[in-house]
Amino acid sequence: MKSGYINFYTTGLDACSPNKNWYERGLVDCLCPECKILFPRVGAIDVFIQEKRPKPSPITFVIGSVNIVHRDFLNILGADSVENDLMIGSVINGDGENLKDWASVRSKVMLHIRGTENIRNNGRCSTCYRPYVSATGKKYIYPDTNSPGTIFSTLFGALLVRADRIDGQLFKPKKGFGVAFVPVLDQPFDGLDFRIECWQGGGPSGIKSGWLD
C-alpha cells in the first residue's frame, strides 16, 4: 500500500467556542497570542466550551491546536494507540458539566498537512516562529515522521492515523465529518523548505520539548 495516513477531519464551521474566562485567564501563559497554538510544555488540557454539547461530528476543535473528539470514535482507533500517542483531557460545557462522552485531544507529536500552496507566508507564526501551516490544493505529508506512533493530531480539528494500521473502510464521511487518504510524498510542493514536525508534550526525552525542524 502507498504510504500515508487516513485524515479524519471536521468539515464546515462547527468549531466549539471557548469559554471566555477560561480562554482569557486560564490560557494566558499557555498559548501563543498570534497563532493560538499551545506551547510545547503544555500537556493534556481540560477544555471549557460555551455550548451545551459539541456538534454531532465526532471531531471538532476549540482552539486551533486542541481537538475535541467523541469517545466512541476514539475507541475505534484502539486503546493502546490512544494511550500511547494522545494527551487526553476533559471537556466541560457551558453549564459546568463534564461531558463524559467527549475528550480534548492533542497528540504528543503534531503533524502538519501540507499542500501545493501555503496561505500563511513562510509557514511559520511570526510571533513564536513555530510551524503554522494552512495549506491549499492537493494535500500530503512531507516528510514522514520518525515517531513510531499511530495517531497524530494536526491543526483545526483533524486527526491522522497511519493508513496501514487501520481499516479505512470502517469510516464513512458524514455531515460535518470528512475521511480522506493523505499520502506521504518524497518531496514538498509548497515552497517551504523545512521539516515540519512538532513535538508537543511528552517528547522523546520524556520532558516537554520544543518543536523540531
Regarding 127 and contact with Zn ion (CB under 5 A), the answer is: yes
Selected range binding Zn ion among 121-129, 136-144, 147-155, 175-183, rule: CB under 5 A: 121-129
Toward Zn ion, which CB reaches closer, 63 or 99?
63
Residues 74, 113, 125, 196: which binds Zn ion (CB under 5 A)? 125
The secondary structure of residue 18, as a DSSP letter, is: B
Least separation in angstroms between residue 125's CB and Zn ion is 3
Task: Tell me how many residues contact Zn ion (CB under 5 A).
Answer: 6
At CA 30, angle to CA 131 and CA 26, rounded to 5?
Answer: 145
What dihedral do alpha carbons 98, 177, 135, 210 form, nearest 10°? 30
CB of 41 to Zn ion, least distance (A): 14
| Residue 31 is a binding residue for Zn ion (CB under 5 A) | no
Residue 5: strand, helix, or coil:
strand
Buried b (16+ CB within 10 A) or exposed e, 12-24: eebbbebbeebbe
Closest by Cα among 182, 145, 170, 169 to 9? 182
Regarding 110 and contact with Zn ion (CB under 5 A), the answer is no
32 or 180: whose CB is closer to Zn ion?
32
Out of 76, 128, 180, 212, the residue judged to bind Zn ion by CB under 5 A:
128
Residues in contact with Zn ion by CB under 5 A are 32, 34-35, 125, 127-128
